[in-house]
Chain A
Amino acid sequence: MNNLFMKKDRKGPVLFSEYKPGSALLKAAGMSREDILFEIKDSGLKGRGGAGFPASVKWMLTASADSDRKFIVCNADEGEPGTFKDRVLLTEYPELVIEGMIIAGYTIGAKEGIIYLRAEYSYIKEFLENKIEEYRKNNLLGKNIASKEGVEFDIKIRLGSGAYVCGEETALIESLEGYRGEPRNKPPFPVNTGYLGCPTVVNNVETLAAVPHIINNGGEWLHKFGTDKSTGSKLFSVSGDCRYPGVYELPFGISIKDLLEISGAENTKAVQIGGASGLCFPESEFGRKLSFEDISTGGSVMIFDKSRDMLKVLKNFMEFFVEESCGQCTPCRIGNVRLLEGVKMIEKNEYTPEYIEKLKELCGTMKIASKCGLGQSSPNPFLSILENFKDEIFGKHLNLNYDEKGIKKSGITAAAHC
């Protein structure tokens, strides 16, 4: 068993560095809201869920929204296949997450915080609740936090019900409100009209966990790690064909190649970065870097070695999207089904290159026409796997049943597959 799993050995420059619980809270209590916002802005902290939206902008917009009631929501619906870093943070560094939420709440003027915990993590709920209770007892949650007059914040935990799409912030809010977990139209964005119609910040667990360190060390400090536009570090959930799978904290800008080496991967054929909705890279691109300027990711790294059938990998991803689309908007609900059908056609050698091209065009529409990030990114594996592994896939699956015009030798075109 790989010892990187063990907390005592888990080391990293930011999140997995030394931290004295409560220290950032006490420091923040002595700072003005503007000062905290300045430090967060200065740090260049970007959303760690994958989209990379600057945390300070979200905070600032919510802070300036005119409302008596605001919310901080911690997105712990870690649902992207191949991601398990938030679980590690919540179980091993819950103080960072809780304090990040309190500081965020103080900064934007929110009194209520909610941790939206995915259903599969319900076993962590009690542990977290005990932690939260400790903070309450130490006067770091509740009223007059850290003896600071009028500073009020409390956290409750809500469980998801297992839908992938509820990791999307507006679907998460719908789910919190008791409706079907389906994304909302944007605008308006949650920073203006969020949970219960109130301004709401939805931040990833990892984003919030970085906040206490930034407060303790100053915004400038984060620039010591990572690249110009991707400051700090990232947690990578590494899985698949490697000797040391696990969660790694590494500075932004690390190359795929280095990551493979660290995790003890050999004979690697492909790396899927960003989970099912991410992109799949072949060996020729292993020099590329994991950062917002090159490959933006929520941290999932799946490694496939040379024994893997890439068409099967793709089929697995597309089956996932067919099931996990919320079913609301047309491009995502039906588009993914058509893409999966395309994969099955290839599998059975019953495709025409023309129809596959047509599906690729459909991917273009899905990316710009779907309502939320799910449908906008679900064509990624289809496009990148078919492009990057075309020799393997189309070499293995020759379509001998069709002539060059796409006419099946029995006389039926591939498109009319009914």
Chain B
Amino acid sequence: MKKELRSPVSQRPHTAEDVNGKSGIGSEVSIELNGEKIKVALGKSILDICRENKIHIPTLCYHEDLCIAGNCRLCLVEIEGMKNLQTACSFPVTSPVKIKTFSDKVRKARKHIIDLLLSEHYGECYSCVRNNNCELQTLAREHGIDSYEFGHVCEPRFEIDNSSAAVIRDMDKCILCRRCVRTCIDLQEVGVLEAINKGYETKISTFLDLPLSDVICINCGQCINRCPTGALHANDPSDEVWKAIEDPRKHVVLQTAPSPRASIGEEFGLSPGHSMTGQLNTAARRIGFNKVFDTNFSADLTIMEEGTELLNRLKKALVDKDENVKLPQFTSCSPGWVKFIEHFYPEKLDYLSTAKSPQQMFGAVLKTFYAEESGIDPADIVTVALMPCAAKKFECNRPEMNSSGFKDVDYGLTTREMAKMIREAGLVLPELPKSGFDDPFGEATGSGLIFGSTGGVMEAALRTVYELVTGRPVPFDGLNIDVCRGMKGIKEASVKLENCKKEFSFLEGIDLKFIVAHGTANAKVVMDMLTKGELSGYHFVEIMACPGGCIGGGGQPIPTSESIRKLRAKAIYDEEGSLPVRKSHENPKIKYIYEKYFSDGPCGKLSHKLLHTGYYKRGKFIK
């Protein structure tokens, strides 16, 4: 993945290819690492070599998702014969060097660097959102820092920017590692954050130093996941949620998305990849949520709406020869992606499905259908969404998301904030008994569950669309559409539609071509293909703003890395395989709601009012 990154030359990972020409690739070199003789592949970085040899090198600006910066200088090592210390992260081994990773010089330098960082780092650990999960704090502990050797700032120098519904910037805690800058420009290709000024005045800033709400931030929150300190964190509404829970007049319902359950265990010390679905339900009830619903239900609803919309578009294009119909249809579940396209490709909004995201659909259903069925005044229903996402906070506050007359979703909680509430309530999540979801939306399908991983929406949609069109299940072993799975940035494949049902005869013999992309840098590649006309003949595109899809969302536990994301995805796919119903259209509750409530079917009049939405042509300049 690193190789694909767009980044300044200075920050690209340097390999032997850069240093010695291509001839060296594949050969080995003997080096001495702390006195031990070992053989390593030519061109490998000292940091990688040390990690393979179980030597811990402290790092701060280094992040395995990002290109090399080499600016914190903590990973310094001593190389015999060199006057200066070298950064392990950026130094490729191309000759038989002798490396010392903890010599006197090295230890002293690292300690000095931590001392210097602390001298400029405002605030105290116990009043910080990242207390106990802060990389600077950990480093200070590892290096036995017990005093402020070079003083300590006592007055804040920056105003906290809490203008954004999703991301809060507290620049007094910033240590200028620039992971956020690299995340924003290299990983996501949004480019909202950049270092400005020089010397002591250097700081991370937005365009014209505007508040984050007034720039083209897509709220993906990937910067939060990579910030080593508390300089970036999500806008936390848990106080309001507690208040609603305490209020006896309020009926507080929680919907939980698929990804948090695959990752929340990490907040309680479990290794990545443990699904906590049942325990999380119990915890939510004990905290005081009146009902706990599964967002997978509305994911199934999304599939019905989005899938039907796709079939409608195909029909208009193929049968009615309507030239105004835009294909391929792009998914609209990821609010980061939606804001990205609104800013960067406002002229392409017609390609976007009008279906609301599962979070918003559920909110709308709760304040209408559910309110009616259970006889509760929708004004008294408080809908809370547990999401792996920072952008969902922005999404639920979009002014148009109130088609029922009430705000669809009142509060969006991230996985981290939910974990905090659980801890506040004195619950130890992994030790809780399991429990199921509440009715009337109790059952959901595996299709909804896999929404959490990149390719999941596509896989779920294909299962339903294929079967609606042909009357047969998708021709993949065990319904597992493997071409949709995995962490490749952009995946594409096709399914041939044969022996279609009579009403879909216009699709007979068509190769349904689709693309799955995750991370907005990859979205940009796909959109540029669309602009160049290279996507004609494609029908459906799934895009998730975050690398790995929702399991790598900006609201997920910190840290994140590709290996962690893979484990979370595996947890989701494993759980999915064991579910009794795995196709959205076979969900009995979905059938029920279309019979009872949205009686004119998917994309009908009522569903259009409640379950679909519109978009803004935001562009890159915000007034």
Q: Which residues of chain A from 301 to 334 have any CB-CB distance to chain B below 8 Å in the complex?
A: 321-331, 333-334
Determine the chain B residues whose CB is within 8 A of the CB of A324 once the complex forms. Answer: 198-199
Name the distance in Å between B99's Cβ and chain A's nearest Cβ.
15
The closest CB in chain A to the CB of B18 belongs to: A188
Tell me, in angstroms, the Cα distance from A330 to B21 when the chains sit together.
32
Tell me, in angstroms, the Cα distance from A103 to B74 when the chains sit together.
42
Tell me, in angstroms, the Cα distance from A416 to B83 when the chains sit together.
32
Stretch at the interface among B85-93, B332-340, B580-588: B85-93
Determine the chain B residues whose CB is within 8 A of the CB of A415 once the complex forms. Answer: 148-151
Given contacts A185-B10, A369-B76, contact A325 B198 (CB under 8 A): yes
Whether B112 is near chain A, meaning CB under 8 Å from some CB there, is: yes
Whether A180 is near chain B, meaning CB under 8 Å from some CB there, is: yes
**B197 close to A327 (CB less than 8 A):** yes
Q: B116: which of A184, A192, A335 is its contact (CB, 8 Å)?
A: A335
Residues 166-206 of B, flagged 1 when their CB comes within 8 A of A and 0 if not, give 00000000011000000000000000000101111110000
Name the distance in Å between B606's Cβ and chain A's nearest Cβ.
53
Determine the chain A residues whose CB is within 8 A of the CB of B119 once the complex forms. Answer: 334, 338
**B113 close to A365 (CB less than 8 A):** yes
Tell me, in angstroms, the Cα distance from A119 to B344 when the chains sit together.
35
Tell me, in angstroms, the Cα distance from A174 to B69 when the chains sit together.
14
Whether A224 is near chain B, meaning CB under 8 Å from some CB there, is: no
Whether A123 is near chain B, meaning CB under 8 Å from some CB there, is: no
Whether A90 is near chain B, meaning CB under 8 Å from some CB there, is: no
**B200 close to A369 (CB less than 8 A):** no
Whether A46 is near chain B, meaning CB under 8 Å from some CB there, is: no
**A327 close to B176 (CB less than 8 A):** yes
Given contacts A197-B9, A324-B198, contact A185 B18 (CB under 8 A): no
Name the distance in Å between B27's Cβ and chain A's nearest Cβ.
17
Tell me, in angstroms, the Cα distance from A170 to B9 when the chains sit together.
10
Whether B117 is near chain A, meaning CB under 8 Å from some CB there, is: yes
Tell me, in angstroms, the Cα distance from A197 to B112 when the chains sit together.
34
Name the distance in Å between B575's Cβ and chain A's nearest Cβ.
43
**B14 close to A188 (CB less than 8 A):** yes
Q: A185: which of B70, B113, B195 is its contact (CB, 8 Å)?
A: B70
Tell me, in angstroms, the Cα distance from A341 to B90 when the chains sit together.
32
Whether A57 is near chain B, meaning CB under 8 Å from some CB there, is: no
Determine the chain A residues whose CB is within 8 A of the CB of B153 once the complex forms. Answer: 418
Tell me, in angstroms, the Cα distance from A403 to B405 when the chains sit together.
73
The closest CB in chain B to the CB of A364 belongs to: B108
Given contacts A179-B8, A368-B83, contact A323 B200 (CB under 8 A): yes
**A418 close to B105 (CB less than 8 A):** no
Tell me, in angstroms, the Cα distance from A41 to B151 when the chains sit together.
51
**B87 close to A333 (CB less than 8 A):** no
**B149 close to A187 (CB less than 8 A):** no
Tell me, in angstroms, the Cα distance from A179 to B181 when the chains sit together.
13
Q: A331: which of B8, B20, B113 is its contact (CB, 8 Å)?
A: B113
Tell me, in angstroms, the Cα distance from A258 to B85 when the chains sit together.
37
Whether B261 is near chain A, meaning CB under 8 Å from some CB there, is: no
Give the most central of A163, A165, A182, A196: most B CB within 10 Å: A182
Whether B152 is near chain A, meaning CB under 8 Å from some CB there, is: yes
**B68 close to A185 (CB less than 8 A):** yes
Q: B72: which of A179, A183, A329 is its contact (CB, 8 Å)?
A: A329
Tell me, in angstroms, the Cα distance from A408 to B68 when the chains sit together.
44
Name the distance in Å between A163's Cβ and chain B's nearest Cβ.
6
Whether A65 is near chain B, meaning CB under 8 Å from some CB there, is: yes
Whether A107 is near chain B, meaning CB under 8 Å from some CB there, is: no
Q: Which residues of chain A from 373 to 418 have any CB-CB distance to chain B below 8 Å in the complex?
A: 376, 415-418
**A334 close to B84 (CB less than 8 A):** no
Q: A333: which of B21, B109, B148, B199 is its contact (CB, 8 Å)?
A: B199
Determine the chain A residues whose CB is within 8 A of the CB of B152 once the complex forms. Answer: 416, 418
Given contacts A179-B8, A325-B200, contact A368 B151 (CB under 8 A): no
**A369 close to B84 (CB less than 8 A):** yes
Whether A134 is near chain B, meaning CB under 8 Å from some CB there, is: no
**A325 close to B113 (CB less than 8 A):** no
**A184 close to B9 (CB less than 8 A):** yes
Q: Which residues of chain B from 1 to 24 have any CB-CB distance to chain A below 8 Å in the complex?
A: 8-10, 14, 18-21
Tell me, in angstroms, the Cα distance from A334 to B73 when the chains sit together.
12
Q: A369: which of B10, B94, B109, B148 is its contact (CB, 8 Å)?
A: B109
Name the distance in Å between A320's Cβ and chain B's nearest Cβ.
10
Q: Which residues of chain B from 64 to 111 have any CB-CB distance to chain A below 8 Å in the complex?
A: 68, 70-74, 76, 83-85, 87, 90-92, 94, 105, 108-109
Name the distance in Å between B88's Cβ and chain A's nearest Cβ.
11
Tell me, in angstroms, the Cα distance from A202 to B113 when the chains sit together.
31
Determine the chain B residues whose CB is within 8 A of the CB of A358 once the complex forms. Answer: 149-150
**A182 close to B10 (CB less than 8 A):** yes
Given contacts A185-B70, A327-B202, contact A170 B92 (CB under 8 A): no
What is the size, in residues, of chain B's interface with A at 8 Å between Cβ atoms? 48
**A327 close to B116 (CB less than 8 A):** no
Tell me, in angstroms, the Cα distance from A351 to B200 when the chains sit together.
22
Name the distance in Å between A73's Cβ and chain B's nearest Cβ.
14
Tell me, in angstroms, the Cα distance from A323 to B199 when the chains sit together.
5
Determine the chain A residues whose CB is within 8 A of the CB of B576 once the complex forms. Answer: none
Whether B154 is near chain A, meaning CB under 8 Å from some CB there, is: yes
Given contacts A330-B117, A370-B73, contact A177 B112 (CB under 8 A): no
Residues 355-373 of A, flagged 1 when their CB comes within 8 A of B and 0 if not, give 0001001101101111100
Whether A259 is near chain B, meaning CB under 8 Å from some CB there, is: no
Whether B511 is near chain A, meaning CB under 8 Å from some CB there, is: no
Whether B120 is near chain A, meaning CB under 8 Å from some CB there, is: yes
Tell me, in angstroms, the Cα distance from A343 to B117 when the chains sit together.
20
**B109 close to A365 (CB less than 8 A):** yes
**B14 close to A185 (CB less than 8 A):** yes
Whether A193 is near chain B, meaning CB under 8 Å from some CB there, is: yes
Tell me, in angstroms, the Cα distance from A324 to B19 when the chains sit together.
30
Q: A326: which of B84, B90, B154, B199 is its contact (CB, 8 Å)?
A: B199
Tell me, in angstroms, the Cα distance from A416 to B118 when the chains sit together.
12
Determine the chain B residues whose CB is within 8 A of the CB of A341 once the complex forms. Answer: 151
Determine the chain A residues whose CB is within 8 A of the CB of B19 once the complex forms. Answer: 187-188, 192-193
Name the distance in Å between B509's Cβ and chain A's nearest Cβ.
48
Give the most central of B21, B74, B197: most A CB within 10 Å: B21
Determine the chain A residues whose CB is within 8 A of the CB of B105 once the complex forms. Answer: 368
Determine the chain A residues whose CB is within 8 A of the CB of B76 once the complex forms. Answer: 369
**A330 close to B71 (CB less than 8 A):** yes
The closest CB in chain B to the CB of A328 belongs to: B71
Tell me, in angstroms, the Cα distance from A362 to B110 when the chains sit together.
11
Whether A26 is near chain B, meaning CB under 8 Å from some CB there, is: no
Name the distance in Å between B337's Cβ and chain A's nearest Cβ.
28
Determine the chain A residues whose CB is within 8 A of the CB of B8 once the complex forms. Answer: 174, 177, 179
The closest CB in chain A to the CB of B196 belongs to: A180
Name the distance in Å between B417's Cβ and chain A's nearest Cβ.
31
Tell me, in angstroms, the Cα distance from A338 to B151 when the chains sit together.
9
**B109 close to A327 (CB less than 8 A):** no
Name the distance in Å between A69's Cβ and chain B's nearest Cβ.
14
Whether A337 is near chain B, meaning CB under 8 Å from some CB there, is: yes
**B117 close to A334 (CB less than 8 A):** yes
Given contacts A66-B21, A418-B151, A418-B153, contact A365 B10 (CB under 8 A): no
Give the most central of A66, A179, A193: most B CB within 10 Å: A193
Give the most central of A192, A329, A334: most B CB within 10 Å: A334
Determine the chain A residues whose CB is within 8 A of the CB of B20 once the complex forms. Answer: 192
**A184 close to B10 (CB less than 8 A):** yes
**B9 close to A417 (CB less than 8 A):** no
Determine the chain A residues whose CB is within 8 A of the CB of B116 once the complex forms. Answer: 330-331, 334-335, 338, 362
List the 10 closest pairs (A to B, CB-CB), nearest first. A327-B202, A184-B10, A185-B90, A334-B116, A418-B154, A365-B112, A325-B199, A185-B70, A369-B109, A188-B18
Q: List 13 A-B contacts (CB under 8 A).
A: A65-B21, A187-B91, A326-B198, A326-B199, A328-B195, A329-B71, A330-B113, A331-B73, A333-B176, A334-B117, A369-B84, A415-B151, A418-B151
Known interface pairs A185-B10, A325-B200; 19 further A-B residue pairs with C-beta atoms within 8 A, sorted by A's residue number: A163-B198, A177-B8, A184-B10, A187-B92, A188-B14, A323-B200, A323-B201, A325-B199, A326-B202, A328-B202, A329-B70, A330-B71, A331-B73, A335-B112, A365-B112, A365-B113, A367-B84, A369-B109, A416-B151
